[in-house]
Every structure is written in C-alpha cells, then in structure tokens.
C-alpha cells in the first residue's frame, strides 16, 4: 500500500469516528503536494489585552457645491484703435468720427453717442463730464435733472439753449461722448480717447468764454483737481478764458437741505455773473 493510500484510509477512519479536522505533518503534506498555511504566532498577554487600535482618521466630506468656482485665467486686455486725427475735420467729418468711434470700452455699453447741443457759433460754451442715463437714451447732453437745472441757469443769464442767435445762444458738450456705466467718472483712457473730439469742437465753435462744469471737466482739460478751490477763478483752456464752477448734479444733491441748496446755487450764480461780465467786455 502506498503512502497516499495509507493516508486516505486514515482520513476515512477518522471521518467514521466523527473527526472533522486532522492535522497533517509536514512530511504528509509534502507527500500530498500541499503546503501548510502558516499559523500566526500566539499573541503575547500584552497584545491580547491591549485596547483595539484606533481607526485611521477619516477626512470630513467636502461639499463640492459650496466650493468657490475656479478662477478663470486672466483674459488679455482689450486693444482699441487710436483716436482718429480730427484736427482739421469739418463738422460733418467730426460728428461722423464721434458716431463711429470704437476707441475705448464705452463703445460696448453705450446706447447713443452724445456729441453736442446748442448753437455752433455761440460765444459761450459749457463743458460737462459725460452723458448720464437720460442723455444716453435721448442722444442730447444735459437733459436729465442736472440738465434741467443747467437750462434754468442759462435762462437766468438771459440766454436760451434753443436759440440760434449768437447773442443769446450757448453750446454744450462733454469730456466723453458715451455714458460711463453707472454714471461713474470717465477713466483716464476714456477721457484721453475723446479729448481730440472736444478740442476740435472748441476750435470750430470759437467761443469767447468756456464754463467748466465740475471737477472732471477741470481735470481733463487743465490737469488740475479740486473744484472747490478752483471755482470762481479764471483760467485758460485752449487759449480761451474759462470759469470753473460746480456741476449741476453736485448742486441738486442738496435739494432736501433748503439752506445748503440755496447757498450752493448762489456760489454757481456768482461764477456765472463773472461769465456774463466777461462776455459783455467783448
């Protein structure tokens, strides 16, 4: 009888006796072509009574919906063409250049290009900062609440915005021809893109006196800031006497304060009286 047959007989006898498991010696395992599964070593008393190992900490779940959106890569700054040379343009060419201008970012948000109002041969020129919402909608400068106050001031001077008579007429323009979003002040590059148009307007109108309405007009045309200290004092713009004064939108801020409103209007009126005196000298 072979060794394998002997092993089979022994296993069957143990099965009859109810033995379910039998430990085979290394020799018998080798005979059967099997390998013993290593039995783990008996743990020490310290290991048996040691507290169970703590599980590795689990990172808290991250709510991806609450995570901030990824920051997009910075886009290249917009490149605009240089302003056209309008130094020798006539009125038609100048207005066409203004209407088709794409030289700054305001061209993307404008509804209208607001070029001018009044008489092109008027001896008196008013320059503001830029169109607001009403002006952008109608295409005419100074037609909103501030414009209505300016119209009354012009009337108090004995002049009329709608008049074509140079003795009574005025001409009105702005630093920029398109509305800055939210009625903010024009940016330096926006004002720079428009100044050539304004300088040509001044050259074509040839006013005897210019009124600068507010700090923005003062800064872009003279490089100076501080309308509070500059108002009421004569300066020159393009070789023409110019009077800085408060912008009508600044004046109407005080409408709910009767005294402040009156006092601010009085300061503007004093400036305009100097303008009337200057006009009467010519």
- Structural domain tally of the chain? 1
Q: Answer whether 190's CB lies under 8 Å from 103's CB.
A: no
- For residue range 128-145, list pLDDT tens digits in order: 999 999 999 999 999 999
Predicted local distance difference test score (pLDDT) of residue 12: 75
Residue 118 lies in a domain: yes
Q: Taking the model in full, what pTM does it have? A: 0.73
Is residue 70 assigned to a domain?
no
Q: Is 218 left (phi over 0), alpha (psi -120 to 50) or beta?
A: alpha
Whether the pLDDT of residue 64 is over 60: the answer is no
CATH code for the domain in which residue 169 is found:
3.40.470.10
Does residue 76 belong to any structural domain of this protein? no
Whether 47 has a pLDDT exceeding 60, the answer reads no
Please list the helix, strand and coil fractions of the chain in percent, rounded to the nearest 5, in that order.
45, 10, 50
Predicted pLDDT at 45: 46
**What are the pLDDT digits (tens) for 195-216?**
999 999 999 999 999 999 999 9
Structure token digits, residue 131: 């169109």
**How high is the pLDDT of residue 79?**
87
In a domain, 109, yes or no: yes
Domain membership of residue 54 (yes or no) is: no
Average pLDDT over residues 148-165: 96
Q: How far apart are the first and last CA of the chain?
A: 145
The sign of the CA dihedral 242, 248, 254, 258 is positive
Contact assessment for residue 129 and residue 214, using Cβ atoms and an 8 Å cutoff: yes
How far, in Å, CA of 264 to CA of 244, rounded?
Answer: 14
12 in any annotated domain: no
Query: What is the predicted pLDDT for the residue at 194?
Result: 97
Confidence band for 26, pLDDT divided at 50, 70 and 90: low
- Residue numbers of the domain that contains 247: 91-280
Average pLDDT over residues 265-270: 98
Asked, for residue 84, whether it belongs to a domain, the answer is: no
Say if 228 falls within a structural domain: yes
Exposure string of 38-69, with b = 16+ CB inside 10 Å and e = fewer, is eeeeeeeeeeeeeeeeeeeeeeeeeeeeeeee
């Amino acid at each position: 009888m072979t060794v394998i047959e002997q092993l089979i007989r022994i296993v069957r006898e143990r099965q009859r006796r109810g033995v379910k498991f039998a430990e085979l010696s290394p020799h018998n395992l080798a005979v059967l072509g099997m390998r013993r599964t290593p039995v783990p070593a008996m743990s020490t008393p310290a290991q048996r009574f040691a507290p169970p190992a703590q599980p590795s900490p689990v990172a808290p779940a991250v709510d991806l919906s609450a995570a901030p959106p990824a920051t997009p890569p910075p886009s290249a700054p917009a490149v605009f063409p240089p302003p056209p040379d309008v130094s020798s343009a006539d009125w038609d060419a100048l207005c066409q250049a203004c209407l088709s201008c794409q030289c700054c970012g305001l061209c993307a948000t404008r509804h209208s290009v607001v070029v001018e109002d009044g008489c092109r041969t008027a001896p008196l020129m008013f320059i503001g900062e830029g169109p607001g919402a009403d002006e952008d909608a109608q295409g005419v400068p100074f037609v909103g609440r501030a414009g209505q106050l300016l119209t009354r001031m012009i009337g108090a001077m004995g002049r009329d915005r709608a008049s074509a008579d140079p003795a009574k007429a005025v001409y009105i323009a702005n630093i920029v021809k398109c509305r800055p979003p939210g009625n903010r002040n024009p940016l330096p590059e926006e004002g720079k893109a428009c100044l050539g148009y304004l300088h040509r307007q001044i050259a074509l109108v040839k006013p005897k006196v210019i009124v600068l309405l507010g700090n923005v007009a003062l800064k872009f045309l003279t490089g100076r800031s501080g309308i509070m200290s500059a108002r009421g004092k004569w300066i020159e713009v393009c070789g023409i006497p110019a009077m800085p004064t408060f912008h009508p939108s600044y004046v109407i801020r005080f409408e709910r304060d009767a005294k402040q409103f009156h006092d601010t209007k009085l300061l503007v009126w004093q400036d305009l009286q100097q303008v009337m005196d200057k006009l009467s000298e010519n």
